Structure 1
């Protein structure tokens, strides 16, 4: 079935691409020399052979970039590339190099070329700036599109704040971001380690661009990473994503076990919903807040920002049928915590109270430390509850928890947790979404939900 979906997507993009008017395309490479390009940063070798640009690694030099002389804002870019399977590379788009930024260091969006077993080709990295913006953990189906031992066709669409990529006709990334709307295009030869042998090559050909009368590819259904706060892109709307908080008012939210929103303890300013610091205890100054609606199966997205030593949580399947005696609402919890500076991280079992864990039940599993951002940075949280009771937690694009609600394994964990005396814990068919007031300052924004059927 997955193979059929990939083939169908590839055919759709191929047909759409062929429908573009040939007169709109401009060649960025003349096939003969490097006219219109210049090299920045590293000293890798760039040559022209048989109508191809060839980038060759050299020792003791940083990342190298062959950059267009011109700057491009809105465009559709297509090219073909072939890379040594042991290399890493990328295509810079809307990128910059200025004296005031790290002495001219090339920085900006990079479309990944990754023939390794990680297989993130087509993902979007922010070179020398914000790290990964769209790792292919968001879109595992696209990890099969790249051919490590052959030529690959890339398509990149940058239109307004939308950046979309395809690898061999398969949709790979969909990013919405407005940090940089214009810049140069560049072909990267990545630096090599001291133990690696120089002389490895990447080849590019058929490099062409459209800049006028752009016709974006029809929407698909892959995950959208939208970095514009409290915003829904056209594709998100088409995919059934809705704002769970409007970024301005308390509409759709209320205090737990009450009909209105707390008069104190929570603030709304500049599109950010913040629980204020108070006593560091559950129910703090204003108390937990919950959605008016209850949800069964859903995909929940939220951004959160911690202050030093802060504790909070995003709970789901929250019920108001229990007397919590003034404590926080009862439900399954995506832990929101400063692991380093809050003692709760060392309690529980095996780290099951650390950031993004299923609180007091299942510890997170992180294989890449880049999933953990410093205190004060915005984090991307995501909870997916499927109709068949499978549940997943994500942190900054990385899957960190998975379990089956109500399974024997789940029930065994409940039986040895702090929830063991709460009858029916975790078995509710639906419940509210809750943001926890634990007496520490924590901010939220871009809360979104998609109901799954």
Structure 2
């Protein structure tokens, strides 16, 4: 081999490897602009190519989501990249993600920072690919929905340090998530599956300037102010939540603060506390016939309540508020406004009531979730599925009450009005005087004879 050829090969290898070495400013380029050294493709068959120093992913009919992933795993880091996507596609970048044979036969799963060119505009929100679904939809941060530039280059910044994951898009702060489910994994670029939509085939997503920092992170982190923090830590509060006035309604290990709705103490049967989860156990599907409902010992007036719940197949339960335990001393559940918890597909109650007002997240028997009595087609809910954790949120600000399911507002109403009274008069609650108009009441978790689990039960009084 000639000397000049040897020199050329050495220079080529040096340049190719140099791009993935840490630079003097602490950044490391993850892509060398020449080849896919340090990367591999997982799950699908969509093609990745290189054009003018950019990674190009091309959509393909008949393949599931395809990921170009780093071979190296990363825990704490700051990641930056630029991406541009053709209209009609959906994409994202995986962080702290994994693909292992024992989990859904190697399906890629983990945190994904969204690229959303639709009118929904949730780019830089955080999705849990292959697991829990949306963790930080940009319904939490409406201003950030304006950050994405359709058809243009967009610059992302992700800071993942400990349990904190924060995102910026084109310099605008977007997501502020606290979650500790996965501490380490690969970085992955996604070409989303398009099914059999041939009109979307051949469209491209491009990435460039993909770089990462893994040292001296604290001094390089960006302050984030005014962006709502959303935490999924199990039965514990973050420092931010404590400063905002949140408190745990359930400590994750005992029955402290709770009693039976028709008892002076916590039920001796029908409820289980195990591994940080509070579960009402399956019996015969009847309402409040086994352990019975449980309520908070304290009463609450103006508040924000959050509860994570997990449904078994065909299950029925509910979260009630403004509960008056002395209203119904007979058979059945204690009386209060109810955030319905239900398997809409398998439980027959979903088809009862009026236009779906007994379905999941509805104000039970009064107002359907994401719909009205005049246009049932508006109903749309983001349910993570049976056997997965979902988050209920109820906000009470005087007479105005809202329900949220997994971060999305699904019900809003005003009580103590003529319209409210008309709704009550045509519901099963018409027999209860002053229903829903009480100034304050207990919080209740319902025993409806089916197994449903709860955790992360917390409240902020306003």
- Counterpart residue number, 1:381: 392
3-state SS, counterpart of residue 118 of structure 1: coil
2:434 to 424, 429, 444: 424
Q: Are the aligned partners of 1:142 and 1:172 in contact in 2 as well (CA < 8 Å)?
A: yes
Is residue 289 from structure 1 mapped to residue 294 from structure 2 by the alignment? yes
1:294, distance to aligned residue in structure 2 (A) = 1.9
3-state SS, counterpart of residue 371 of structure 1: coil
- Counterpart residue number, 1:175: 177
User: Aligned ranges for residues 98-177 of structure 1 at < 5 Å?
Assistant: 98-99=100-101, 101=103, 104-177=106-179
Q: Are the aligned partners of 1:220 and 1:235 in contact in 2 as well (CA < 8 Å)?
A: no
User: Aligned ranges for residues 24-39 of structure 1 at < 5 Å?
Assistant: 24-31=26-33, 33-39=35-41
* Residue deviations 1:12-43 (CA, integer Å, cap 9, x gap): xxxxxxxxx98232232345554443444424
Q: Are the aligned partners of 1:26 and 1:209 in contact in 2 as well (CA < 8 Å)?
A: yes
- Counterpart residue number, 2:405: 395
Distance 1:424 1:185, change over 3 A: same
- Counterpart residue number, 2:216: 213
- Counterpart residue number, 2:14: none
* Residue deviations 1:267-306 (CA, integer Å, cap 9, x gap): 2222122223345433323332211222222221112223
3-state SS, counterpart of residue 73 of structure 1: coil
3-state SS, counterpart of residue 182 of structure 1: coil
1:265 to 270, 292, 295: 270
* Residue deviations 1:302-358 (CA, integer Å, cap 9, x gap): 122233443321101112453543432221111122334444333322222222211
3-state SS, counterpart of residue 134 of structure 2: strand
Of the two, which has the highest radius of gyration?
2
- Counterpart residue number, 2:74: 72
Unaligned 5+ runs, structure 1: 1-20
- Counterpart residue number, 2:203: 200
Root mean square deviation, CA, Å = 2.8
Distance 1:271 1:31, change over 3 A: same
Distance 1:312 1:199, change over 3 A: closer
Q: Are the aligned partners of 1:84 and 1:202 in contact in 2 as well (CA < 8 Å)?
A: yes
TM-score, normalization by structure 1: 0.85
Equivalent pairs, count: 430
Q: Are the aligned partners of 1:83 and 1:203 in contact in 2 as well (CA < 8 Å)?
A: yes
* Residue deviations 1:111-156 (CA, integer Å, cap 9, x gap): 1101111211112223334433333334333222212143322111
Distance 1:194 1:241, change over 3 A: same
TM-score, normalization by structure 2: 0.83
- Counterpart residue number, 2:330: 325
- Counterpart residue number, 2:25: 23
Unaligned 5+ runs, structure 2: 1-22, 372-377
Q: Distance in 2 between matches of 1:291 and 1:183?
A: 40
User: Aligned ranges for residues 273-312 of structure 1 at < 5 Å?
Assistant: 273-312=278-317
- Counterpart residue number, 2:89: 87
1:435, distance to aligned residue in structure 2 (A) = 1.2
Q: Are the aligned partners of 1:120 and 1:135 in contact in 2 as well (CA < 8 Å)?
A: yes
Q: Are the aligned partners of 1:44 and 1:61 in contact in 2 as well (CA < 8 Å)?
A: no
Q: Distance in 2 between matches of 1:368 and 1:96?
A: 34
1:164, distance to aligned residue in structure 2 (A) = 2.1
1:449, distance to aligned residue in structure 2 (A) = 1.3
Distance 1:57 1:170, change over 3 A: same
Q: Are the aligned partners of 1:45 and 1:57 in contact in 2 as well (CA < 8 Å)?
A: no
Q: Distance in 2 between matches of 1:434 and 1:172?
A: 34
Q: Are the aligned partners of 1:82 and 1:203 in contact in 2 as well (CA < 8 Å)?
A: yes
